[in-house]
Amino acid sequence: MLPPRGVRRVTGPLLLGVLVAAVVLLPVLVVVAVVVSVWLPGRWRALRLLAFALVYLALEVTAQVAAAALWLLSGCGRRLGTPAFQAAHYTVLRLVLDALMRAARRLFALRLVTDGESWSPLDDGVPGSTNAMVVLSRHAGPGDSLLLVHTLMDRDHLRRPRIVLKDVLQLDPLIDVHLNRLPNHFVSAGPGAGDRSEAAIAELARGLGEEDALLLFPEGANFTPQRRVRAIQRLRDRGLGSAVRRAEAMRRVLPPRPGGVVAALTAAPHADVVFVAHTGLEHLSTVGDLWRGLPMDKTLHLRWWFVPAAEVPRGEAQLTEWLYRWWATIDAWVTTTSVASPPAGGGPTAAR
C-alpha cells in the first residue's frame, strides 16, 4: 500500500541528506566504482552508473527546492492552481527532464532515431500542430516513458502533458510533488478502480487545450511474455474470442485496454490522436535490470503515427476495433525494428 502523503514528504529532506553524504564520500565512491568496473562488462559500467545516480539525485533535490519555492510564492499553496504557477511547474519539469536526458545520452552514449517517413505532428510549423492531442503509447518501461514525456515537453514541442500513470510512481518525490500539482491521474488498484480511472481520464480529456497532450498507455503495464499470456487468458475468460485471436497474433505488445481510450476520445472529440512506438529501453524496469543491462552505445528508436480528429472513429465498438488495428501496426514495427536494430555503436544518424 502507498504510504500517506505526509509520510512521503519526508523523502525530500532525506534526499538532501543522501546527496550531501554522497558528495562528502565522492572520492571513495569513485575509487570503488573504478575497481568494480574492472570486473564488469562494458566500459566503466559502475562509474557511469555512479555518475548518473548522482545527477538524478541532484535533480531530485533541485526539483524539491523549486517546488518549495513555488509553494511559498503562491501564498503557501493558495494559488498553485492558477495558470502562472501551473506553467512554472511545467517549466521545472521540462528543465529537469532535459538535464536528465542530456546526462543519460552523454554518459551512456545513447542516440535517438525517429524512424520511417511519418512526420511528428508536434513540430513547429506543421498545420494543425497546435490542436489538442491524445497520445497513445506502447508501454515499454520507465526509461522509454521518460524519453517520451521529455520529447513532448522539449523546446521544439512545448506540450503540457497530462499523464495517466500508476499510483506507486508517487514514491518518486519529484513525480509525487510536481505531478500532483498538475492535471494528471494516478491509477490505483482495488474494487471500482477502473471506473474511477475512466471518469478521471474523461475529465482530463474534456479540459484539453491546444497546447495540451493527454498521454495514455493502453496496455496498462510493461510487456513481458508472462503478462501477455495472462492478458490473453483474461480476454478468453470474458468470452472475447475476436480480441483473443488478435492478441495472440501480436507478439511484442500486450493487448490494449480500450476503456480509458474510449473515455478520452469520447470526452475530447476535438483532439487529434498520436500513436507512439519506441524501443531500446524496454528491458529496464528495476534497479537490478539497470545493473545487469545498462544500455551503452545504443540506438533508441521512436516512431509516430498521426491521426487527425476528423478521422478518429466514434462509438465504443468502432474505437475498440480501431485501437486493435493500430496496436497490430505497433507490434509489427517493434518486431521489425528489434530484428533490424544494429549492434551497439552502429546505426543511422540520429534525427534529433
Say what the alpha-carbon torsion angle 187, 193, 199, 201 is, to the nearest 10 degrees.
20
Mean pLDDT by 10 residues, the chain (352 residues): 83 88 94 88 84 94 95 95 96 95 88 65 51 90 79 83 92 93 91 88 94 93 89 94 94 94 96 87 58 66 89 94 96 81 40 32
Q: Summarize pLDDT for 184-214 with one digit per residue, the tens.
A: 999 988 778 888 999 999 999 998 998 899 9
- Which grid coordinates are listed for 7? 509520510
Domain residue extents for the chain: 10-108, 111-352
Residue 351: the pLDDT is: 32
Assess contact for 347 and 111: CB atoms under 8 A: yes
Task: Look at phi and psi of residue 87 and say left if phi exceeds 0, alpha if psi is from -120 to 50, else beta.
Answer: alpha
Looking up cell 564488469, which residue turns up? 40
In degrees and rounded to multiples of 5, residue 100 shows phi and psi of -65, -45
Rounded distance between C-alpha atoms, residue 80 and residue 92, angstroms:
14
Q: Summarize pLDDT for 273-320 with one digit per residue, the tens.
A: 999 988 766 655 555 655 555 656 677 888 889 899 999 999 999 999
Looking up cell 494516478, which residue turns up? 186
Average pLDDT, the chain: 85
Which amino acid type is present at position 227? R
Residue 189: the pLDDT is: 80
- Which grid coordinates are listed for 280? 531500446
